[in-house]
């Protein structure tokens, strides 16, 4: 026999609370994974960072659900939205880092990339000076070593420069995601309220 008491409602509420707690743990885990990726990055940004960032974004968008929109800056919804937007911005920045390092149009900050070719030339000259005794034996190997060291120096310089600007990109993505998500949530709640107000009431 069905229990008419609010026990069923309490059970549903507890289930919802469990899902919310699971979602909270999930978003925290995504943030920690993104931070760990950033902390373990060595040298230049590689395309595996893009793979990790895209994977984390897919997990966040697939498994995390924000609570119902409610007004107020101190509401539970707003706290969840801020955490969600910041994690998305962090994951997006990690995914974009290798592209920013390699594509000037995506990272058009004036004056930030100019010194990197000079670093490559310096490393090439230093390699030539270090291997001067081998120049007469294998000029092709010396030229290849110079090119490799020069490329690595330029990549490291671009990586360091990119890392300095990553927070700006992350904050921009977080602000955009937060604004769009907040607007969509508000629109849905108001749409439901309007639809519920227009329904005709049926009296027995």
pLDDT, residue 42, reads 56
pLDDT, residue 64, reads 82
pLDDT, residue 174, reads 95
pLDDT, residue 148, reads 74
8 A C-beta contact, residue 36 and residue 30: no
What's the CA gap between 144 and 124, in Å, rounded? 10
Tokens found for residue 19: 């899902």
8 A C-beta contact, residue 84 and residue 181: yes
pLDDT, residue 101, reads 82
pLDDT, residue 152, reads 78
Other C-beta atoms lying within 10 Å of the C-beta of residue 182:
16
8 A C-beta contact, residue 61 and residue 26: no
**pTM tops 0.85, yes or no:** no
With a cut of 50, which residues of the chain have pLDDT below it?
A: 1-19, 22, 204
pLDDT, residue 185, reads 87
The position carrying tokens 């902390």 is 39
Three-state secondary structure call for residue 143: helix
Choose among 50, 51, 45: nearest CA to 164: 45
pLDDT, residue 138, reads 61
8 A C-beta contact, residue 155 and residue 113: no
pLDDT, residue 82, reads 92
pLDDT, residue 89, reads 93
What's the CA gap between 35 and 91, in Å, rounded? 9
Q: Where are the alpha helices (DSSP H) in 65-138?
A: 76-102, 115-130
8 A C-beta contact, residue 41 and residue 158: no
What's the CA gap between 43 and 160, in Å, rounded? 8
Alpha carbon distances (Å) from 77 to 66, 68, 118, 191: 7, 7, 50, 18
What's the CA gap between 32 and 10, in Å, rounded? 33
């Amino acid at each position: 026999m069905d229990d008419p008491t609010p026990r069923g409602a309490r059970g549903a509420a507890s289930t919802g609370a469990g899902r919310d707690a699971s979602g909270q743990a999930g978003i925290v885990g995504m943030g920690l994974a993104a931070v760990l990726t950033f902390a373990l990055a060595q040298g230049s940004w590689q395309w595996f960072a893009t793979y990790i960032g895209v994977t984390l974004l897919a997990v966040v968008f697939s498994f995390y659900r924000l609570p119902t929109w409610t007004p107020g800056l101190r509401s539970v919804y707003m706290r969840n939205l801020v955490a969600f937007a910041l994690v998305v911005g962090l994951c997006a920045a990690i995914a974009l880092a290798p592209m920013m390092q390699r594509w000037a149009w995506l990272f058009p900050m004036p004056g930030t990339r100019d010194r990197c070719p000079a670093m490559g030339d310096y490393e090439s000259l230093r390699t030539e000076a270090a291997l001067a005794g081998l120049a007469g034996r294998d000029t092709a190997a010396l030229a290849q070593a110079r090119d490799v060291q020069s490329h690595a120096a330029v990549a490291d310089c671009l990586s360091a420069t990119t890392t300095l600007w990553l927070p700006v990109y992350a904050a921009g993505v977080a602000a955009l995601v937060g604004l769009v998500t907040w607007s969509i949530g508000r629109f849905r709640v108001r749409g439901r309220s309007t639809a519920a107000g227009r329904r005709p009431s049926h009296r027995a």
